[in-house]
Each structure stands twice: as structure tokens, then as C-alpha cells.
């Protein structure tokens, strides 16, 4: 009969560190997924706002260029404008 060496007994701090190290990549992935979810939700809110016939979004997308007709905002500028308009609309609904 062979005898096995006793397994190492970990301190509470060592056990906690081992669990934390094992969970760190999972937590990082969860945070990344939450960030992606938040970005997608913001895009979905913008889309809903654009599709709402009462939102006045058509006035936000185009701007007057004088004799040259209407211009269209860049995507980045449009996102900022939409976010402001959504925030205003929420403030009026409250």
C-alpha cells in the first residue's frame, strides 16, 4: 500500500486569491458584454427615436445649407444630436 502525501492546505487568503484569479477573465468578459449591450441599447433608442413620427427627427438629420439646399450631419454628430433630443424628449415626458 502506498501512502499519498497530504494535499496542501490553503489559507483563506490563498484560496480567495485562487478563486479571484480564476474569475478575473470571466468578469472581464462580462464587463465587455455589458458595454456592448449598452452601446446596442443606445443605438436601438436612436433608431426608435428616428422612426417615431412625432419625434421631429427629420429636422435633426438635415440642416440648411442656404442656396446649396440641405446637408446631412455626420454619423458621430448625428448620434450626439439624437442623444440630446432624446434627453430633451424624456425631460418633457416626465
Q: Which helix (H) or strand (E) holds 23?
A: helix 12-51
- b/e for 59-81, b at 16 or more Cβ within 10 A? ebeeeeeeeeeeeeeeeeebeeb
Q: Is the pTM of this model over 0.75?
A: no
What's the confidence (pLDDT) of residue 48? 84
Going from N- to C-terminal start, the domains of the chain cover: 12-93
- Closest Cα to residue 48, out of 39, 57, 37? 57
CB 27 within 8 A of CB 20: no
β-sheet bridge partners, residue 71 = 63
What's the confidence (pLDDT) of residue 32? 97
Tens digits of per-residue pLDDT, 14-63? 989 999 999 999 999 999 999 999 989 988 888 888 777 787 776 666 66
Helix (H, G, I), strand (E, B) or coil at 59: helix
Amino acid at each position: 500500500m502506498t501512502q499519498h502525501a497530504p494535499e496542501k492546505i490553503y489559507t483563506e487568503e490563498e484560496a480567495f486569491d485562487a478563486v479571484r484569479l480564476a474569475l478575473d477573465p470571466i468578469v472581464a468578459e462580462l464587463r465587455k458584454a455589458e458595454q456592448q449591450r449598452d452601446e446596442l441599447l443606445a443605438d436601438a433608442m436612436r433608431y426608435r427615436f428616428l422612426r417615431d413620427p412625432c419625434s421631429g427627427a427629420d429636422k435633426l438629420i438635415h440642416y440648411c445649407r442656404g442656396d446649396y439646399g440641405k446637408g446631412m450631419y455626420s454619423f458621430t454628430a448625428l448620434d450626439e444630436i439624437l442623444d440630446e433630443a432624446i434627453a430633451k424628449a424624456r425631460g418633457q415626458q416626465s
